[in-house]
Amino acid sequence: MIGTASTFSGFAGALALGTMLALAAPGGTARADGKLVISNWDAYMPKDLLDRFKAATGYEAELTVHATNEEIMGKVVAGGGKGYDVLFVSGQFAQALDKLGLVAKLDHDKIPNLKNLYPEASQLKHDPGNTFSIPYSWGTTGLCYRSDLVKAAPTGWDDLLKPAPELVKKVTMLATDRWLLGAGFKEQGLSVNETDPAKIKATAALLGETKKSLLAYDDTTFYSKLVSGEALLVHAWDGWCNYGTAENAAIKYVVPKEGTDLWVDTIVITAASQNKAAAHAFLDFILQPDVAKWVSETVMYKTPNKAGMESLDKALFEKYPNLAMTPAELLKQEQLLDVGKTQKDYARAVTEIMAAK
Protein backbone atom coordinates (compact mmCIF):
# COMPACT_ATOMS: atom_id res chain seq x y z
CA MET A 1 0.00 0.00 0.00
CA ILE A 2 1.03 3.55 -0.36
CA GLY A 3 0.82 3.92 3.36
CA THR A 4 3.05 1.05 4.25
CA ALA A 5 5.42 1.15 1.30
CA SER A 6 8.99 1.53 2.31
CA THR A 7 12.45 0.98 0.95
CA PHE A 8 14.50 1.82 4.02
CA SER A 9 15.01 -0.91 6.55
CA GLY A 10 13.71 -0.24 9.97
CA PHE A 11 13.21 2.27 12.67
CA ALA A 12 16.73 1.69 13.90
CA GLY A 13 17.85 2.77 10.47
CA ALA A 14 15.47 5.69 10.65
CA LEU A 15 17.31 7.01 13.65
CA ALA A 16 20.53 7.00 11.67
CA LEU A 17 18.78 8.59 8.72
CA GLY A 18 17.38 11.22 11.03
CA THR A 19 20.86 12.20 12.07
CA MET A 20 21.88 12.58 8.44
CA LEU A 21 18.79 14.62 7.65
CA ALA A 22 19.40 16.88 10.60
CA LEU A 23 22.84 17.62 9.27
CA ALA A 24 21.70 18.07 5.70
CA ALA A 25 18.55 20.15 5.95
CA PRO A 26 16.80 22.74 8.10
CA GLY A 27 14.26 21.38 10.50
CA GLY A 28 11.05 21.91 8.59
CA THR A 29 8.74 24.89 8.22
CA ALA A 30 7.65 25.50 11.78
CA ARG A 31 4.80 27.95 11.96
CA ALA A 32 2.54 29.24 14.66
CA ASP A 33 0.00 31.02 12.48
CA GLY A 34 -2.60 28.27 12.54
CA LYS A 35 -1.59 26.86 9.15
CA LEU A 36 -1.06 23.15 9.49
CA VAL A 37 1.93 21.30 8.09
CA ILE A 38 0.85 17.77 7.30
CA SER A 39 3.11 14.94 6.14
CA ASN A 40 1.51 12.03 4.31
CA TRP A 41 2.45 9.47 1.69
CA ASP A 42 2.05 10.75 -1.85
CA ALA A 43 -1.44 10.17 -3.31
CA TYR A 44 -2.77 8.73 -0.04
CA MET A 45 -5.64 11.17 0.18
CA PRO A 46 -7.84 13.00 -2.35
CA LYS A 47 -5.97 15.83 -4.09
CA ASP A 48 -8.44 18.49 -3.00
CA LEU A 49 -8.90 17.24 0.56
CA LEU A 50 -7.05 20.19 2.09
CA ASP A 51 -9.15 22.66 0.08
CA ARG A 52 -12.26 20.96 1.36
CA PHE A 53 -10.87 21.03 4.89
CA LYS A 54 -10.30 24.79 4.62
CA ALA A 55 -13.81 25.33 3.29
CA ALA A 56 -15.26 23.32 6.17
CA THR A 57 -13.18 24.70 9.02
CA GLY A 58 -11.41 27.86 7.86
CA TYR A 59 -8.01 26.36 8.66
CA GLU A 60 -5.30 26.33 6.02
CA ALA A 61 -2.95 23.41 5.62
CA GLU A 62 0.00 22.52 3.46
CA LEU A 63 1.08 19.03 2.51
CA THR A 64 4.54 17.56 2.47
CA VAL A 65 5.04 13.98 1.35
CA HIS A 66 7.21 11.17 2.63
CA ALA A 67 8.05 8.03 0.72
CA THR A 68 8.32 5.75 3.73
CA ASN A 69 7.54 5.50 7.40
CA GLU A 70 11.25 5.48 8.07
CA GLU A 71 11.83 8.71 6.16
CA ILE A 72 9.36 10.74 8.21
CA MET A 73 10.45 9.01 11.41
CA GLY A 74 14.02 10.07 10.72
CA LYS A 75 13.01 13.69 10.22
CA VAL A 76 10.73 13.80 13.27
CA VAL A 77 13.25 12.11 15.56
CA ALA A 78 16.06 14.36 14.36
CA GLY A 79 14.06 17.56 14.78
CA GLY A 80 11.97 16.65 17.79
CA GLY A 81 8.89 16.91 15.60
CA LYS A 82 9.31 20.65 15.04
CA GLY A 83 8.00 21.82 11.70
CA TYR A 84 5.18 19.29 11.53
CA ASP A 85 1.70 19.35 13.03
CA VAL A 86 0.11 16.19 11.68
CA LEU A 87 1.72 12.95 10.52
CA PHE A 88 0.40 9.92 8.69
CA VAL A 89 2.36 6.87 9.88
CA SER A 90 1.68 3.17 10.32
CA GLY A 91 0.51 2.05 13.76
CA GLN A 92 3.76 0.48 14.91
CA PHE A 93 5.59 3.71 14.09
CA ALA A 94 2.98 5.82 15.89
CA GLN A 95 3.55 3.52 18.86
CA ALA A 96 7.30 4.14 18.66
CA LEU A 97 6.79 7.92 18.42
CA ASP A 98 4.59 7.80 21.51
CA LYS A 99 7.28 5.93 23.44
CA LEU A 100 9.69 8.72 22.47
CA GLY A 101 7.26 11.42 23.63
CA LEU A 102 7.05 12.92 20.13
CA VAL A 103 3.29 12.76 19.65
CA ALA A 104 0.58 14.64 21.53
CA LYS A 105 -2.12 13.06 23.63
CA LEU A 106 -5.45 13.60 21.90
CA ASP A 107 -8.21 15.74 23.39
CA HIS A 108 -11.30 13.67 22.61
CA ASP A 109 -13.60 16.60 23.37
CA LYS A 110 -12.19 18.20 20.22
CA ILE A 111 -12.76 15.09 18.10
CA PRO A 112 -16.48 14.30 18.43
CA ASN A 113 -16.42 12.29 15.21
CA LEU A 114 -14.44 9.59 17.00
CA LYS A 115 -17.88 8.10 17.57
CA ASN A 116 -17.95 7.14 13.88
CA LEU A 117 -15.16 4.57 14.26
CA TYR A 118 -15.93 0.89 14.52
CA PRO A 119 -15.65 -0.08 18.22
CA GLU A 120 -12.82 -2.45 17.19
CA ALA A 121 -10.92 0.50 15.69
CA SER A 122 -10.85 2.21 19.08
CA GLN A 123 -9.22 -0.76 20.77
CA LEU A 124 -6.36 -1.60 18.44
CA LYS A 125 -3.32 -2.91 20.26
CA HIS A 126 -0.93 -0.15 19.27
CA ASP A 127 -3.16 2.45 20.96
CA PRO A 128 -6.22 1.21 22.88
CA GLY A 129 -8.62 4.12 23.39
CA ASN A 130 -7.06 6.25 20.64
CA THR A 131 -4.99 8.13 23.18
CA PHE A 132 -2.46 9.46 20.65
CA SER A 133 -3.62 8.28 17.22
CA ILE A 134 -6.66 7.74 15.06
CA PRO A 135 -6.78 4.98 12.44
CA TYR A 136 -7.00 6.22 8.85
CA SER A 137 -7.08 2.94 6.92
CA TRP A 138 -6.49 -0.71 7.67
CA GLY A 139 -6.05 -3.95 5.84
CA THR A 140 -3.99 -7.06 5.25
CA THR A 141 -0.96 -8.20 3.31
CA GLY A 142 -1.36 -11.24 1.11
CA LEU A 143 -1.10 -12.81 -2.30
CA CYS A 144 -2.14 -11.00 -5.46
CA TYR A 145 -2.16 -13.03 -8.64
CA ARG A 146 -3.28 -13.43 -12.24
CA SER A 147 -6.16 -15.87 -11.98
CA ASP A 148 -6.19 -16.30 -15.77
CA LEU A 149 -2.52 -17.26 -16.03
CA VAL A 150 -1.73 -19.46 -13.00
CA LYS A 151 -2.56 -23.17 -13.00
CA ALA A 152 -3.84 -23.13 -9.43
CA ALA A 153 -4.90 -20.24 -7.25
CA PRO A 154 -2.40 -19.64 -4.42
CA THR A 155 -3.64 -20.46 -0.94
CA GLY A 156 -0.66 -20.16 1.40
CA TRP A 157 2.70 -18.56 1.98
CA ASP A 158 4.49 -21.56 0.47
CA ASP A 159 3.02 -20.64 -2.91
CA LEU A 160 5.04 -17.43 -2.65
CA LEU A 161 8.16 -18.63 -0.82
CA LYS A 162 8.50 -21.96 -2.64
CA PRO A 163 6.81 -21.26 -5.97
CA ALA A 164 5.81 -23.92 -8.47
CA PRO A 165 8.28 -24.33 -11.37
CA GLU A 166 6.10 -22.39 -13.78
CA LEU A 167 6.13 -19.41 -11.38
CA VAL A 168 9.89 -19.21 -10.86
CA LYS A 169 11.05 -15.70 -11.78
CA LYS A 170 7.40 -14.67 -12.04
CA VAL A 171 7.07 -13.77 -8.36
CA THR A 172 7.81 -10.57 -6.44
CA MET A 173 8.02 -9.85 -2.72
CA LEU A 174 7.80 -6.68 -0.68
CA ALA A 175 11.22 -5.43 0.40
CA THR A 176 10.18 -3.57 3.54
CA ASP A 177 11.48 -5.36 6.60
CA ARG A 178 8.24 -5.87 8.55
CA TRP A 179 6.40 -7.28 5.56
CA LEU A 180 9.29 -9.25 4.03
CA LEU A 181 10.09 -10.95 7.32
CA GLY A 182 6.41 -11.23 8.18
CA ALA A 183 5.85 -13.54 5.21
CA GLY A 184 8.64 -15.79 6.44
CA PHE A 185 7.41 -15.70 10.02
CA LYS A 186 3.85 -16.66 9.12
CA GLU A 187 5.02 -19.45 6.80
CA GLN A 188 6.66 -21.02 9.85
CA GLY A 189 3.75 -20.38 12.19
CA LEU A 190 5.58 -17.58 14.01
CA SER A 191 4.41 -14.14 15.09
CA VAL A 192 4.70 -11.16 12.74
CA ASN A 193 6.17 -9.42 15.81
CA GLU A 194 8.74 -12.15 16.45
CA THR A 195 11.58 -11.13 18.78
CA ASP A 196 13.59 -14.34 19.16
CA PRO A 197 16.99 -13.67 17.51
CA ALA A 198 17.43 -17.31 16.51
CA LYS A 199 14.04 -17.40 14.78
CA ILE A 200 14.75 -14.12 13.02
CA LYS A 201 18.05 -15.50 11.76
CA ALA A 202 16.42 -18.74 10.57
CA THR A 203 13.76 -16.72 8.76
CA ALA A 204 16.45 -14.68 7.02
CA ALA A 205 17.99 -17.94 5.80
CA LEU A 206 14.61 -19.15 4.53
CA LEU A 207 13.98 -15.92 2.67
CA GLY A 208 17.51 -15.96 1.29
CA GLU A 209 16.64 -19.26 -0.43
CA THR A 210 13.38 -17.78 -1.74
CA LYS A 211 15.33 -14.97 -3.37
CA LYS A 212 16.58 -17.43 -6.02
CA SER A 213 12.99 -17.84 -7.29
CA LEU A 214 12.04 -14.17 -7.36
CA LEU A 215 11.66 -11.80 -10.25
CA ALA A 216 12.25 -8.88 -7.91
CA TYR A 217 11.69 -7.24 -4.56
CA ASP A 218 9.13 -4.60 -5.37
CA ASP A 219 7.19 -2.25 -3.10
CA THR A 220 5.78 0.07 -5.72
CA THR A 221 5.27 -1.36 -9.20
CA PHE A 222 4.30 -4.97 -8.50
CA TYR A 223 0.70 -4.54 -9.57
CA SER A 224 1.87 -3.08 -12.89
CA LYS A 225 4.00 -6.19 -13.38
CA LEU A 226 0.87 -8.27 -12.86
CA VAL A 227 -1.08 -6.21 -15.36
CA SER A 228 1.65 -6.65 -18.00
CA GLY A 229 2.08 -10.36 -17.21
CA GLU A 230 5.74 -9.93 -16.25
CA ALA A 231 4.75 -11.28 -12.83
CA LEU A 232 2.00 -13.79 -12.09
CA LEU A 233 2.06 -13.81 -8.28
CA VAL A 234 3.10 -10.95 -6.00
CA HIS A 235 3.30 -10.19 -2.30
CA ALA A 236 0.98 -7.23 -1.89
CA TRP A 237 -0.94 -4.92 0.35
CA ASP A 238 -4.61 -5.46 -0.36
CA GLY A 239 -5.32 -1.94 -1.62
CA TRP A 240 -2.43 -2.02 -4.05
CA CYS A 241 -3.75 -5.30 -5.40
CA ASN A 242 -6.98 -3.40 -6.03
CA TYR A 243 -5.05 -1.00 -8.25
CA GLY A 244 -4.16 -4.00 -10.42
CA THR A 245 -7.71 -5.32 -10.36
CA ALA A 246 -8.94 -1.94 -11.55
CA GLU A 247 -6.92 -2.48 -14.75
CA ASN A 248 -7.46 -6.22 -15.13
CA ALA A 249 -10.35 -8.04 -13.45
CA ALA A 250 -8.40 -11.30 -13.57
CA ILE A 251 -6.12 -9.99 -10.81
CA LYS A 252 -7.29 -11.44 -7.50
CA TYR A 253 -6.28 -11.15 -3.85
CA VAL A 254 -6.18 -13.85 -1.20
CA VAL A 255 -5.21 -13.92 2.47
CA PRO A 256 -2.88 -16.91 3.02
CA LYS A 257 -4.40 -19.80 4.95
CA GLU A 258 -1.72 -19.52 7.67
CA GLY A 259 -2.87 -15.98 8.37
CA THR A 260 -1.17 -12.65 7.84
CA ASP A 261 -0.66 -9.25 9.41
CA LEU A 262 -3.21 -6.58 10.15
CA TRP A 263 -1.64 -3.24 9.28
CA VAL A 264 -3.13 0.05 10.43
CA ASP A 265 -2.21 3.47 9.03
CA THR A 266 -2.82 6.23 11.53
CA ILE A 267 -2.83 10.00 11.97
CA VAL A 268 -1.06 11.65 14.90
CA ILE A 269 -0.45 15.19 16.12
CA THR A 270 3.15 16.02 16.97
CA ALA A 271 3.93 16.99 20.53
CA ALA A 272 5.82 19.99 19.10
CA SER A 273 2.84 21.28 17.11
CA GLN A 274 1.98 24.91 17.79
CA ASN A 275 -1.37 24.47 16.07
CA LYS A 276 -3.06 21.78 18.07
CA ALA A 277 -6.55 23.25 17.78
CA ALA A 278 -6.33 23.16 13.99
CA ALA A 279 -4.73 19.72 14.12
CA HIS A 280 -7.60 18.34 16.19
CA ALA A 281 -10.01 19.93 13.71
CA PHE A 282 -8.23 18.09 10.90
CA LEU A 283 -8.56 14.74 12.66
CA ASP A 284 -12.24 15.42 13.31
CA PHE A 285 -12.72 16.37 9.66
CA ILE A 286 -11.13 13.11 8.48
CA LEU A 287 -13.51 11.20 10.75
CA GLN A 288 -16.64 12.64 9.15
CA PRO A 289 -18.49 9.78 7.44
CA ASP A 290 -18.69 11.46 4.04
CA VAL A 291 -14.98 12.30 4.14
CA ALA A 292 -14.04 8.75 5.19
CA LYS A 293 -16.18 7.39 2.34
CA TRP A 294 -14.55 9.79 -0.11
CA VAL A 295 -11.06 8.81 1.05
CA SER A 296 -11.81 5.08 0.81
CA GLU A 297 -13.20 5.42 -2.70
CA THR A 298 -10.11 7.37 -3.71
CA VAL A 299 -7.30 5.32 -2.18
CA MET A 300 -9.07 1.93 -2.48
CA TYR A 301 -8.45 0.90 1.12
CA LYS A 302 -10.87 0.04 3.88
CA THR A 303 -11.63 2.83 6.31
CA PRO A 304 -12.07 2.03 10.03
CA ASN A 305 -14.94 4.51 9.96
CA LYS A 306 -18.15 2.48 10.36
CA ALA A 307 -20.46 5.12 8.95
CA GLY A 308 -18.09 5.75 6.06
CA MET A 309 -17.82 2.04 5.17
CA GLU A 310 -21.57 1.54 5.35
CA SER A 311 -22.11 4.33 2.84
CA LEU A 312 -19.75 2.88 0.21
CA ASP A 313 -21.27 1.74 -3.07
CA LYS A 314 -21.76 -2.02 -2.65
CA ALA A 315 -20.68 -2.52 -6.26
CA LEU A 316 -17.14 -1.81 -5.05
CA PHE A 317 -17.31 -4.87 -2.80
CA GLU A 318 -18.14 -7.07 -5.77
CA LYS A 319 -15.26 -5.74 -7.82
CA TYR A 320 -12.79 -5.60 -4.91
CA PRO A 321 -13.82 -8.32 -2.43
CA ASN A 322 -11.09 -7.45 0.07
CA LEU A 323 -12.82 -4.10 0.63
CA ALA A 324 -15.72 -6.02 2.13
CA MET A 325 -13.67 -7.58 4.93
CA THR A 326 -15.33 -6.85 8.26
CA PRO A 327 -13.52 -5.64 11.38
CA ALA A 328 -14.01 -9.10 12.88
CA GLU A 329 -12.34 -10.69 9.85
CA LEU A 330 -9.48 -8.20 9.99
CA LEU A 331 -8.89 -8.81 13.67
CA LYS A 332 -8.41 -12.52 13.04
CA GLN A 333 -5.03 -11.45 11.67
CA GLU A 334 -2.12 -10.38 13.85
CA GLN A 335 -1.57 -6.65 14.18
CA LEU A 336 1.88 -5.28 13.49
CA LEU A 337 3.32 -3.69 16.62
CA ASP A 338 6.50 -1.85 17.52
CA VAL A 339 9.22 -4.40 18.31
CA GLY A 340 11.54 -1.88 19.96
CA LYS A 341 15.23 -2.72 19.92
CA THR A 342 14.53 -5.92 17.98
CA GLN A 343 14.08 -3.66 14.95
CA LYS A 344 17.88 -3.68 14.64
CA ASP A 345 17.76 -7.47 14.24
CA TYR A 346 15.10 -7.03 11.55
CA ALA A 347 17.24 -4.53 9.68
CA ARG A 348 20.24 -6.84 9.91
CA ALA A 349 18.20 -9.79 8.64
CA VAL A 350 16.94 -7.85 5.63
CA THR A 351 20.50 -6.80 4.81
CA GLU A 352 21.51 -10.47 4.85
CA ILE A 353 18.61 -11.41 2.60
CA MET A 354 19.42 -8.72 0.09
CA ALA A 355 23.06 -9.83 0.03
CA ALA A 356 22.20 -13.51 -0.45
CA LYS A 357 23.32 -15.11 -3.72
Q: How does pLDDT run across 308-345, given as a tens digit for each residue?
A: 999 999 999 999 999 999 999 999 999 999 999 999 99
Q: What is the pLDDT of residues 87-131, one digit of tens each?
A: 999 999 999 999 999 999 999 999 999 999 999 999 999 999 999
Distant-in-sequence, close-in-space partners of 116: CB < 8 Å, separation ≥ 6: 287, 288, 289, 292, 305, 306, 307, 308
Full 3-state SS string of 131-150: CCCEEEEEEEEEEEEECCCC
For residue 16, which of 66, 71, 65 has the smallest C-alpha distance?
71
pLDDT score at 33: 66
Would the pLDDT of 288 be above 70? yes
Higher-confidence position of 6 and 47: 47
**Is residue 159 predicted with pLDDT exceeding 90?**
yes
pLDDT in tens, 55-85: 999 999 999 999 889 899 999 999 999 999 9
Cβ atoms of residues 5 and 72 within 8 Å: no
